[in-house]
Amino acid sequence: MDTGNPANWPIGLVGYGEVGRILAEDLRQRGVAVCAHDLKLGSAAGDAMREHAQARGVTLVEDHAVLAARSDLIVSAVTASQAVPVAAACAPAIRSGAWFLDFNSASPGAKIRAAGLIDAAGGRYVEGAVMTSIPPYRIQVPLLLGGAHAAALAPALEALGFAPKVASERLGVASATKMCRSVMIKGLEAMVIESFTAARAYGVEDAMLASLKETFPGIDWERQGTYFFQRVIEHGRRRSEEVREVAETVREAGLTPWSAAGTAERQAWVADLADEGLFGQRGAPGFARDADWRTEADRLLAKVRPMT
């Protein structure tokens, strides 16, 4: 592999959803050669992926092995349940000394299993923990790195436009930081949907919001509520898988993940309804973009209380 200027590295993106496309756009703006693979290329979503890739000079490849064989840096950005399978699929073809950056929201145990596969095949595994929502920050999203190779990769990532910070040489520390944060953040999303929708059903939403503002004056609950509804409607499937990994992280700590398990169920429930078309056509310009959370809450209530 090329050990010189990181801008000359061919980079492979596994996963060409929201995260993969943002990374591809920002890397291509820097002149970096990018290829990508996504399991959904053969589905209805594949047409949009191909259109996006063609417009930005990204090469789409047919499988993980082809991507691994041509990449000096592989970035895995898939759903949480696929973190280990992707490492397993890339490992047999990975270049000697090539980097494998695991962007996935997986438990420390899953990251350790993925690292074992990559390192045994001659690659260099680095766990990455994305510490907030990617779209506002894009490639500059705060990124914690972990593992024996993290410190060596960090300067190269900075040169490529990332914003990395080494958390630990020990695998699992970066992921545990993210997962424990997600108990709160993803849990708050689920609680807002449950609380706000129930308040809407009883006609007490204004009084509830006023009380929340008094208790937490630094939060604009109207705006935050709308944002949470939007994000869960659009990305609830991915979030539910992430929170199942959060629950596994809690289990690995010896605790029963009552809160995380409930959050995963609520996120998956909204995702199921989104797939049914309750909130409009997925992928259409107005999907999950209502400016008032009440619109979405009313749709939920009409679904669960169809006779009222």
Question: Residue 162 is part of a domain; what is its CATH number?
Answer: 3.40.50.720
Give the pLDDT confidence score for residue 84 in this predicted structure.
97
Whole-prediction pTM: 0.86
Report the distance separating Cα 37 and Cα 76, nearest Å.
Answer: 10
Q: Do 162 and 183 sit in the same domain of this protein?
A: no
Number of other residues whose CB lies within 10 A of the CB of residue 308: 7
Domain end, chosen from 170, 193, 226, is at: 170
1 occurs within a structural domain? no
Q: Do 197 and 128 sit in the same domain of this protein?
A: no
Domain end, chosen from 170, 203, 218, is at: 170
Exposure string for 77-90, b = 16+ CB within 10 A, e = fewer? bbbbebbbebbbbb
Give the pLDDT confidence score for residue 307 in this predicted structure.
64
Q: Do 151 and 184 sit in the same domain of this protein?
A: no
Q: Do 19 and 159 sit in the same domain of this protein?
A: yes
Q: Do 148 and 201 sit in the same domain of this protein?
A: no
Q: Do 57 and 90 sit in the same domain of this protein?
A: yes
Nearest to 33 by CA among 54, 53, 4, 9: 9
Question: Residue 285 is part of a domain; what is its CATH number?
Answer: 1.10.1040.10
Report the distance separating Cα 124 and Cα 122, nearest Å.
Answer: 7
Q: Do 219 and 265 sit in the same domain of this protein?
A: yes
Q: Do 156 and 179 sit in the same domain of this protein?
A: no
Q: Do 23 and 162 sit in the same domain of this protein?
A: yes
Q: Do 264 and 278 sit in the same domain of this protein?
A: yes
The tokens for 65 are 């092995």
Give the pLDDT confidence score for residue 82 in this predicted structure.
93
Q: Do 49 and 196 sit in the same domain of this protein?
A: no
Helix 221-252 / helix 258-275 crossing angle, nearest 10 deg? 120
Nearest to 103 by CA among 149, 48, 142: 142
Q: Give the H/E segment covering residue 37.
A: strand 34-37
Range of the domain at 298: 175-304
- Collapsing DSSP to helix, strand or coil, 287 comes out as coil
Question: How many domains does the chain divide into?
Answer: 2
pLDDT tens column, 27-40:
999 999 999 999 99
Q: Do 102 and 139 sit in the same domain of this protein?
A: yes
Give the pLDDT confidence score for residue 80 in this predicted structure.
87
263 occurs within a structural domain? yes
Domain end, chosen from 140, 170, 200, is at: 170
Helical H segments across the chain, by residue range: 18-29, 46-56, 64-69, 83-90, 108-120, 134-137, 150-160, 173-202, 205-215, 221-252, 258-275, 293-304
Give the pLDDT confidence score for residue 1 in this predicted structure.
62
Report the distance separating Cα 126 and Cα 133, nearest Å.
Answer: 20
10-residue mean pLDDT profile of the chain (308 residues): values are 82 96 98 96 90 97 97 95 96 98 94 98 97 93 98 97 98 96 96 98 98 98 97 94 95 97 98 96 87 97 83
86 occurs within a structural domain? yes
